[in-house]
Amino acid sequence: MPDKPDLIRQLAELFRTYGYEGASIGIIVDKTGAGRSSLYHFFPGGKADMARAVLADIDQWFEAHIFTPLRHDPPETAIAHMFHAVTRYFHDGQRICLVGAFALDQTRDQFAAQVRGYFRDWQAALAQCLERGGLSPETAQARAIQMLAAIQGGIVLARATGDNAAFTAAIAPFTP
């Protein structure tokens, strides 16, 4: 049986593949090899607890690899690192943004606080970095939104077309 961190990673991929609604407990049991009792031991609230754990894990990864460097590293280094890290994390746009997917489907209200927090934190860290780089607060906020929209839009385009170059082209105007 997988341990909880392994299970969370497996659950993330199942939610990416089947969506929250489509990833039934039966599919989760079958694909993870964890029994129902083990799942409910780790996640007493069922599938909603599983999704919250997955979103928290994603948030922790982004905090460590994206948000903290944006807040503390020199702006040019931090932004270059952000684009390199998201390119790897999202497999050149071929791996969906699970937080973005949760924001768009029927689960949006159920996980609204976590979804909002993820995008709010990313935008704030990026805007703060851009301000340190010399942009006015207003311009930094606008540019942060544009950059996040390019990343998210690039993911959608790359997935929809099966062409990784679409992701690269979408973020190219912002990459140092």
Q: Give residue 1's pLDDT band: very low, low, confident or very high (50, 70, 90).
A: low
The answer to whether the pTM exceeds 0.85 is yes
Summarised one tens digit per residue, pLDDT across range 25-78 is 999 999 999 989 989 999 999 999 999 999 999 999 999 999 999 999 999 999
CB-CB contact of 148 with 126 (8 Å): yes
At residue 57's C-alpha, the angle toward residues 23 and 106, to 5°, is 40
CATH of domain 4-174: 1.10.357.10
Summarised one tens digit per residue, pLDDT across range 143-153 is 999 999 999 99
